[in-house]
Structure 1
Amino acid sequence: MSELIEEPFVMDNSCRKSHHPLSVKRDLTNRLNRIEGQVRGIKGMVEKDVYCDDIITQLAATQSALNSVTKVLLEGHLKGCVKDRLENGEEEVLDELLITIQKMMRK
């Protein structure tokens, strides 16, 4: 019998899905592709013993790019998912949102 191994960040919330417009999906995908390239570049910098300050600068730029993706997703979540669920009387979405914000604020 084989075991099912789940990724630690994957959550099954009754198969809920986001419904982003195609333009938003494209924008997010493009941003994430750039971030992926930045991370590969940083890894290469570490492997080539590039000066620490230069690597830190690139890490800060990558973090800023990730924060931008988070802002786009959070805005869509609030204006779409949260609004719709509140209109349907699902007030537990507020507790879910508070947990999400707490996770975003961890450092």
Structure 2
Amino acid sequence: MNYGDHIKNRLKRVEGQVRGVLSMIETNKECKDVVGQLTAIRSAVDKAIAVIVAENLATCIREELEQGKDADQIVQEAINLLVKSR
């Protein structure tokens, strides 16, 4: 699977946010501030997942259909992947 630079950049921002939260914890920042940043991280990761799935779903379905898989099974697997990510 080919992942574009925009996905890598999203994840690098998340990486920076995680380092920021670690720094906040080390300096004993307020709980509400730490939780707020963790919530932002979770949202950023959710968006990255959505972009990856959206951009690659058509390709994955096409490849699996070429391998003879049932279309209903492929759709169900995609749904399960999205549900699992939550």
In the alignment, structure 2 segments of 5+ residues that lack a partner are none
Instruction: Give the number of the structure with larger relative contact order, counting CA–CA contacts within 8 Å between residues 6 or more apart.
Output: 2
Larger helix percent: 2
Give how far 1:28 is off: 0.5
Count of aligned residue pairs for this structure pair: 83
Aligned residue number for residue 78 of structure 2: 97
SS in 1 for 2:4: helix
**Pick aligned residue for 2:55 from 51, 70, 76:** 76
CA distance in 1, matches of 2:50, 2:79: 15
Worse overlay, 73-82 or 28-37:
73-82
Question: Which amino acid in the other structure matches residue 93 of structure 1?
Answer: I
Give how far 1:80 is off: 1.4
Which stretches of structure 1, 4 residues or more, deviate above 4 A after TM superposition?
none
CA distance in 2, matches of 1:38, 1:52: 16
In the alignment, structure 1 segments of 5+ residues that lack a partner are 1-17
Identity rate of aligned residues, in percent?
31
CA distance in 1, matches of 2:55, 2:22: 31
